[in-house]
A and B are shown apart, each in its own frame.
Chain A
Amino acid sequence: MKYIPAIIAVSLWLAAQPALAALNILACEPEWAALAKELGGDKVSVYAATTALQDPHRVEARPSLIARARSADLMVCTGAELEVGWVPLLQSQAGNPKIQPNQKGYFEAAMAVPLIDVPTRVDRSLGDVHPAGNPHLHLNPANIAKVASALTERMAQLDAPEAAYYRDRAKSFLERWQTATVRWEQEGAPLKGLPLVVYHKDLSYLVRWLGMREVGALEPKPGLPPTTAHLSELLSQLAKDPAKVVVRSAYNDPRAAAFIAERARIPVVLLPYTVGGTERAKDLFGLYDDTLSRLLAVTK
């Protein structure tokens, strides 16, 4: 234990260092990293814990993430138990009181929007269901707007001297976002009623927003990988109620989607799912632009 005084000395010295101007944000998913950048500009430093190629349900509390959580002023996560397998570990191991649950430094997007697909019955025989409702909420632009407002206020609370800056940026973002939303809704009109097969319930908000119709899922039950038995069942179901397209997110295994597409003679569309999932999905606007144009390509 003779090192303890040295440790304390070093940490006190580090604490005494002038704090870096930027608000340190650890975003659990790329969509929230992109949103935090839109709102925070150069007053924030944002690190995304995951990429679009990683399944947000299956992330590990890697040492690098503990290190990031240690120095974060604000964690921006989806909540609704999407990150139940790893965020609690970051919170318990990082030694950072700011980002504990119910603290100002822990923001959950799911708190700002009403969730869909809230199960009436929660039982594991139904698969790894999301008991609080569907957490993949960022694929409805109205939700992004709501989360943006709530997040702006949280950032303003945490970094009061820059509150006006954040609110200005939020205003500008929301204006641009609303204009874009109107455009997307116009462009997306032909997608109304489009029957599609999804991989997981991670596109449900998009499906509802654009009025598309989810006729099946590649996962037999939430969180369980596709099985041949389920896929052949799905095929016979599709024979009665055909789908126009199979969609999958960038992080999903392509094989199950290809299997169905080939046999049902329908195209597979890869959707970015979140920022960074495709070349064009560089930010939130790009995410929606690319998602829509990829879906619209099917209807042409």
Chain B
Amino acid sequence: MSINPMNSTPIRSETSGLKTDTLFLNMGPQHPSTHGVLRLGLTISGEVIVEAMPDIGYLHRGVEKLLETRTYAQGVVLADRLDYCSAMSNDLAFCLSVEKLLGAQVPKRAQVLRVIMAELNRIASHLIFFGTYGIDIGAFTPFLYAFREREMVLDLFEMCCGARLTYNYIRPGGVASDINADWIARCREFLDFFKPRLDEYDTLLSFNPIFLVRTQTVGIITPKTAVAWGLSGPNLRASGVNYDVRQAEPYCGYEQYDFTVALGKTGSCWDRYFCRVVEMRQSVRIVEQALSRLASGEIMAKLPKVLRLPAGEAYSHIEASRGDLGVYIVSDGGLAPYRLHFRAPCFINLAILQEILVGKKVADVIAVLGSLDIVLGEVDR
């Protein structure tokens, strides 16, 4: 007689005296879907996760300590390498803090240039997310499309500052180099090319039935939990909490731009994903507006060659691609900061994994982890 597994009654541990046990499963630090070197210690009971513990530090480079030995001009270089997917935002946060303590006024044109670069970088960074999240869920093709467009943004960056990934473009007092008419034309060309591509992405991945099933009801974060864990960026807004530093505390003249903040409804993985796709559209709008209001003028404030910040402290924060990025500087009047701290959004966003993974299936771990879009460089610093 053959046994039909569907009909057989499972062996109950109480009746047969068999003991079931939980299993500790190690995920990472080398794992194709941890986006770098994150280790997750999962305790599982069958397919269900009982406990999840992120273990970080595999990329701890001691940036905050190093910055105490670097001058402010050199500091930008290290700030670049924190969240390497959107280096412009890091530079911007760092420079805003330095300028705040210095009391420097940044010229108009430099401000607009900063907005353009930060938003283009947001597009480039969300494109990485779009591509890699597709791979995580099992769709390889979107990756190739996303990187095709990303290369175009990187070409623009290369044209204006010579680097593809670590720009060192935004400097205390302004920006390093000006853009020319050729650049503006190329940029417009890219924006025109990119807008229809976003619709293509929706058919390719956003509304793909398999993708929807794997993400739409998974990893739900309620607004209350999101706020309690201090989430920021698209992860927070996907839960429906309307907080965007660009609108809450505008910097670089963001109050003059017309854009809407993308909000999700349920806080599921799909909402977090879709928030980012919508943000790319909004970034395109902002860049278009910024290009049209670009007036000629200085790009660098008159600052001494060697920056010495007055003793004191300053904190400023911006809306980086992954959330609310803050830089806190304490100066004792010397050439280098006395202490410098980054409020890294990824580090804070990562912590919520401990709560939302519990009770989920093993197969959902990647979907949830990927949707938080962490960059380990910023988590470990």
Binding partners A and B: no
